[in-house]
Amino acid sequence: MAIKPNLNKYENGNISIMVLIFMIILCIFMLVIFDFSNIFIKREKTENIAEMLSLAVSQELLCLKNNNIDISDILGNEYENIKDYEINIQIDYDEVIVTAKTPLNLVLVNKLLKKNSISSTSVSKIIYPWSMDFSFCKRYKFNF
């Protein structure tokens, strides 16, 4: 003889409602995790691009090509991978500042924020061979 549990007529659907609420919370949590992982991936890529360009432009300046610096010539085939990035390069005599900026394509955060992008800045200091840091060039004092 089977014993039937004593259930109220109001308790029959509680589990399905709790499972539905749990699944909605779980889906929102997974979308947030997906968005944060995309943010970290884009941040790492913009950092790599900014560092790569600042070092490449610094190397070109050391070769005394400051009038003819072209990013597409420096990067070659890699230039195709960074076309969707906004790149700003500031060149001084002893310093190169590169800022790479790209829009974020997020799933959940795009619904909350209209414009979101991520940018990274890299600075490379140029030490020329004739500077005093290397002490390759000796300074002579002349007495007249």
On whether the CB atoms of residues 101 and 115 are closer than 8 A, the answer is: no
Residue 138 placed within a domain: no
Residue 136 included in any domain: no
- Whether 132 is covered by a domain: the verdict is no
Over residues 15-73, the pLDDT tens digits come to 888 899 999 999 999 988 998 898 899 999 999 989 988 988 888 888 776 566 777 77
Answer yes or no: is 115 within a domain: yes
The answer to the question of residue 9 being in a domain is no
**How many structural domains are present in the chain?**
1
List the structure tokens of 109. Answer: 């955060």
pLDDT in tens, 115-130: 788 899 999 988 777 6
Asked if residue 144 is part of any domain, the answer here is no
The answer to whether residue 1 sits within a structural domain is: no
* Domain interval for residue 78: 19-125
Share of the chain above pLDDT 70, in %: 77
Does 79 have pLDDT greater than 70?
Answer: yes
- The H or E element spanning position 61 is helix 14-62
Residue-level pLDDT at 58 = 86
Tell me whether residue 117 is in a domain: yes
CA 62 to chain centre: 27
Query: pLDDT-derived band of residue 13, with 50, 70 and 90 as boundaries?
Result: low
Do residues 40 and 106 lie in contact, with contact meaning Cβ atoms separated by under 8 Å?
no
